[in-house]
Structure 1
């Protein structure tokens, strides 16, 4: 029985990927990790990850390309904002019998591979409170009006940035059939926030894999993970979820641009530059940030001149 972690990345998200891998390897040097290239622009990140973190590239790249193009074509060109996100569906056919998938806008605070111990009794796992926010960013109210899913089933909605399952539970045929069902009913989904794959994979899991488990429902509860949450508390270098009085096991900047000044920037920066010289924030600001700061300085300067004149 083989276990491992899948990620998707390209050369445009090198910094995020380094932060994620630094955090994973800090707590776990052994669990194998496989990179599913987000697109053809991945050679630099692949070389770095192999040399520094023993990450291997998904072996059958032709399969990934064929699979993602077929899934994309089912809906038609131009329907999805980020169709390459469907490349992560190659997880179902890779080398691991049991796996977790992790987005690169995440850092972990523990040996995250231990979440796969839940596969002893479950076929699919996730670890978030997406369901607490209602069906937004996943489904439209049509799934309720037409009884596509029960209210109980909708409590199993999840964020597509962290989930896991078992090889062989989803076949190519199931993938194509599920996408065809979804393409026939686009009114079932909420794509307003350009969440390309999240609505579709939620539909597929709720329809095809009944033995599901959200780790936040474990005995004693479990902490949240979204960096946009306002109730977390800092205790030294730990982040605590006071609702369950437990430290976070991972932090996810879903929908948040990771840059100086963002939520928990210092946490992300610490993992990104682990064992490196820590640069100052000013050198890490994006051109947009620098432009906004300059505009603010000029505005303050004009205000002072008006006051003094």
Structure 2
């Protein structure tokens, strides 16, 4: 059944804590918007059960399609090319139940009714909401895309972070996905995979090439706040954050490239949402909890030896 607006996430049983923090933050501000889980891999049964029972999250209806889509995309580049090829499973968003949607990574918490960002899709086909472009082209492209005229300087000002974006259903077709991946596979020199990003460079290429009606919300009149947890200037105010550069509250915070653990940037914000409605454990307990025990370390070592 097609629905008007909704949110997609990807997750597996390894990111249960992050997923709970994200879902608690979403549901705190918005109890009703439908949310759909795209399984990151085959080990998702525990997280799916928790998210369905506590936060009304449904599993993507056509799991066979996700498998077929992701396998096709992997094969175009060849096995072993990407550090985290399962990130491409989120491309099932284009073909799911929601006419308008946002995709959100699990290393995010939101501070308001985030589905309202899809209001911009009344005018545009694709939206993003970050300052990825302000840091140059690293983690997306190499200078070769400019040297070869693939994109202009103006084009690359529309680069975005792959952890938060929105679009209209079927803006990208299956054919366009496969065509884009084939183009990219023939020009790996255009992309910066040095920090083990997998989907972000390819999806940026696809959007810049095929979706002219796109909009970065940070360019709205009056400006907009940042969203990256690596930004040190945000001011904490009642479990929210304010960006003093624009004197506006953040709509979401993204720990992209940052391990969420005691001592990380804005740790207290993440911990507040993760344990919303629960007693909050102290940091020492959480730090110990995150340390792998002896048996886990042995298993990891055995696994590495088998793979080598």
TM-score range, shorter chain: over 0.9
> Which residue is 1:29 aligned to?
31
SS of 1:62's partner is helix
| Structure 2 counterpart of 1:176, from 152, 158, 178 | 178
SS of 1:97's partner is strand
Mapped partners of 1:166, 1:290: distance in 2:
42
For the 8 Å contact 1:225–1:251, the answer to whether it is kept is: yes
Q: Give the total of aligned pairs.
A: 291
1:3 aligns with 2:21: no
Q: Deviations over 1:78-106 (max 9, x none)?
A: 10000000000000010011100000000
Mapped partners of 1:253, 1:3: distance in 2:
25
| Structure 2 counterpart of 1:104, from 99, 103, 106 | 106
For the 8 Å contact 2:239–2:272, the answer to whether it is kept is: no
For the 8 Å contact 2:240–2:269, the answer to whether it is kept is: no
SS of 2:241's partner is strand
Mapped partners of 2:38, 2:263: distance in 1:
30
State the 4+ residue runs in structure 1 displaced beyond 6 angstroms. Answer: 287-291
> Which residue is 2:164 aligned to?
162
Deviation at 1:272, TM superposition (A): 0.4
SS of 1:107's partner is strand
> Which residue is 2:192 aligned to?
190
> Which residue is 1:295 aligned to?
none
Q: Could you list the runs of 5+ residues in structure 2 that have no partner in the other structure?
A: 294-308
1:274 aligns with 2:276: yes
Mapped partners of 2:150, 2:58: distance in 1:
39
Structure of greater Rg:
1
> Which residue is 2:144 aligned to?
142
Mapped partners of 1:122, 1:106: distance in 2:
24
For the 8 Å contact 1:259–1:286, the answer to whether it is kept is: no
Where in structure 2 are the equivalents of 1:227-246 lying within 5 Å?
Answer: 227-246=229-248
Mapped partners of 1:238, 1:165: distance in 2:
26
| TM-score (norm. length: structure 2) | 0.92
> Which residue is 1:303 aligned to?
none
> Which residue is 2:41 aligned to?
39
Q: Deviations over 1:224-243 (max 9, x none)?
A: 00000022122343311111
For the 8 Å contact 1:228–1:253, the answer to whether it is kept is: yes
| Structure 1 counterpart of 2:207, from 205, 208, 212 | 205
Deviation at 1:288, TM superposition (A): 7.4
- Let me know the Cα RMSD of the aligned residues: 1.3
| Structure 2 counterpart of 1:69, from 68, 71, 76 | 71
| Structure 1 counterpart of 2:51, from 29, 37, 49 | 49
| TM-score (norm. length: structure 1) | 0.92
> Which residue is 2:16 aligned to?
14
Q: Deviations over 1:197-247 (max 9, x none)?
A: 000000000000000000000010000000000221223433111110001
Mapped partners of 2:184, 2:72: distance in 1:
14
Mapped partners of 1:10, 1:288: distance in 2:
17
Mapped partners of 1:220, 1:279: distance in 2:
40
